[in-house]
Amino acid sequence: MRSYQVWFVILPAFVFTLQSNYAQYKKADWDKRNTWMNVSDLFELAKIELGGAVADVGCHEGYLTIHMAQKVGDLGKVYAVDVRQDRLDKLDKYLEEHKIQNVKTILGDYDNPKLPKNTLDAVVVMDTYHEMEDYKDILDRIKESLKPGGKILILEKLKRHMIDKPRDEQIEAHTLSLHYVKKELQQAGFLITKEIDDFGQWKNDPDKTMWILVGKRNQ
């Protein structure tokens, strides 16, 4: 599996007073993302709430993680997973500088995000699933980490010119169709509770349509 990559959105300006050398993204880039991604709807779909225990699988340098940390509050917990230590080091530095104490970073394996078992209310995998060669093992691990009734939310983008292409061709193009992932979630034992085939355009690019699947652990 290639490295987890997740990108996410928006917090109030006082949270993201970033130094220009902090990360790959500058505050202006994150502000721009606010114009095309609906974070509040994502959190609603995943049932991420105050006091919850959640995970950002493929946290990159903490874009989604920081949003989750604000949403769940001091009584909640966020597990931020990536397979690259350099990304986690940057996130740890940010967490320390901003005194954010409800986040635990985890260096995952390519087939195992190393999440605590039977603990989480929700796991989000955003623009990352197509990178996961060992997706079957990862889905099994995520299912084990969720409480009964816990949610997994997968968001990917489908490039228009790759529609109806075989799965292996799609992932080589860093894209993936909803129908492949839906089948894989079901095979892993998740109950599909929400399916959105058009969640807007990734980076306002008409060639890249975002889709969402939400699955639930029943037992």
Q: Quote the pLDDT of residue 27.
A: 66
pLDDT at 66: 87
Average pLDDT along the chain, 219 residues, taken 10 residues at a time: 42 37 57 78 95 96 88 97 94 93 97 97 95 96 97 97 96 97 97 96 94 93
pLDDT at 80: 98
Report pLDDT for 15: 41
pLDDT score for 25: 55
Q: Which residues contact 54 (CB under 8 A, 6 or more apart)?
A: 46, 48, 68, 72, 76, 77, 78, 79, 120, 121, 122, 123, 124
Q: Is the pTM of this model over 0.75?
A: yes
The residue among 64, 187, 202, 93 whose CA lies nearest residue 137 is 187
188 vs 142: CA distance, rounded Å: 10
Is 27-216 a CATH 3.40.50.150 domain?
A: yes
Angle, CA 82 vertex, CA 207 and CA 127 arms, to 5°? 15
